[in-house]
Structure 1
């Protein structure tokens, strides 16, 4: 039952990508609003990584395991992101005209899809690991991933539309990633249940490091592109919202 619960929570958080994609593809939402939502989502994720992932990893395994895991996650994400960026996925979260079309760069659609997986899998796995030990799922983690996924899907789908990608491709992509998110949460719960505390701490921190790298590399630049001087205030509002929820 816990395994199915992990999958259900992962699917719920991942479904926000599809919701955002629907809004971004079908509606003409001003770039400033998209950027503001992205900044808020960045703040929420930063809070979740700080107080739910890194803090929990430190409590379970100590500073060394946490530092090694976080650095490893950042390195893995960055290297994978560099490879995908060279194949056309660099601006996968951008809502403007930055995304290349398939004509401009062959294979960019596949690279964007893989990039979306790269962004989403670590978030979903930590939802599954939060259920380990017989406790309830981390509400803050699910909330953070859900809130951040809406602007991610919204901004990316808007950019895909501008690059000439059809609705079938866009919605199939995000629906598929929502399903994979459920699977990643189940993997996080099913495969990591019996590992020693320091190992689980390192894996949790690894996901945290990957998410931090993703925020810095894709979400904050997109927010800054249009929110400009308001990005700091909006990001702090998101951070404090998640922090308040964690203390309810």
Structure 2
């Protein structure tokens, strides 16, 4: 349980640090685009190697693909509704994206921590952290520059971090002993939501801000995730 709390604090803390960086620090457009693409590449590989592949191995390809498809569809529908309400340039869409994919993602993180050692969750936790930091920075920066004050924007991200922390802890406590088929669907639902968010929120933003280096940054993110994955023998 102590390891769970430590990992959750680090991963969710990245949201708060990223938001503070985006609101109060200096973050150039090209730098933001490069870092977001880097994080996107890392998370893309991690959802495949740390969520989808283990679910297929331990359950079935049917459960895994059903979860991935459901996660992508639910995210796409909710993201559309969010964009209609908040608009695409307010930063609210990215906040919603992180929340919508973050809840099942952190549930999966909590599940992954069940009976696991530090190295076994290093890849997934590290990639989520790398993703949360720049995404929060970009989203909070947009929100603070829009209709939200800097203080209100920061507190919105603090509340989001608290919600995602609760999801990870709930996943760890409530799903211990759950059938592998159920865990597989949850993991892959998270993976599907993450993939959808990468396609609609992360990579378009990265290309817009730094189109010439976004591809290189994405590849570097994949390399970094592969290195993190090697820590757990994956």
Q: Same fold (TM over 0.5)?
A: yes
Query: Across the two proteins, how many residue pairs are aligned to each other?
Result: 229
| 1:232 Cα deviation from its structure 2 partner | 1.2
RMSD: 1.8
TM superposition outliers: structure 1 runs of 4+ over 4 Å: 111-116
Q: Is the 8 A contact 2:94 2:135 kept in 1?
A: no
Q: Is 1:126 the counterpart of 2:108 in the alignment?
A: yes
| 1:114 Cα deviation from its structure 2 partner | 4.7
| 1:6 Cα deviation from its structure 2 partner | 2.5
| 1:148 matched residue in structure 2 | 131
Query: Cα gap change, 1:126/1:69 in structure 2, threshold over 3 Å: closer, same or farther?
Result: same
Q: Distance in 1 between matches of 2:172 and 2:105?
A: 13
What SS does the corresponding residue of 1:80 show, helix, strand or coil?
A: helix
| 1:5 Cα deviation from its structure 2 partner | 3.5
Query: Cα gap change, 1:112/1:32 in structure 2, threshold over 3 Å: closer, same or farther?
Result: closer
| 1:117 Cα deviation from its structure 2 partner | 2.1
Q: Is the 8 A contact 2:97 2:197 kept in 1?
A: no
Query: Cα gap change, 1:113/1:135 in structure 2, threshold over 3 Å: closer, same or farther?
Result: closer
| 1:62 Cα deviation from its structure 2 partner | 1.6
Q: Is the 8 A contact 1:84 1:115 kept in 2?
A: no
What SS does the corresponding residue of 2:113 show, helix, strand or coil?
A: coil
| 2:57 matched residue in structure 1 | 59
Matches within 5 A, 1:188-203: 188-203=171-186
Q: Which moved more, 1:192-201 or 1:138-147?
A: 192-201
| 1:99 Cα deviation from its structure 2 partner | 1.8
Q: Deviations over 1:32-73 (max 9, x none)?
A: 000000000001101110110011111111211111111011
| 1:87 matched residue in structure 2 | 85
| 1:103 matched residue in structure 2 | none
Matches within 5 A, 1:149-188: 149-188=132-171
Q: Which runs of 5+ in 2 are unaligned?
A: none
| 1:191 Cα deviation from its structure 2 partner | 2.0
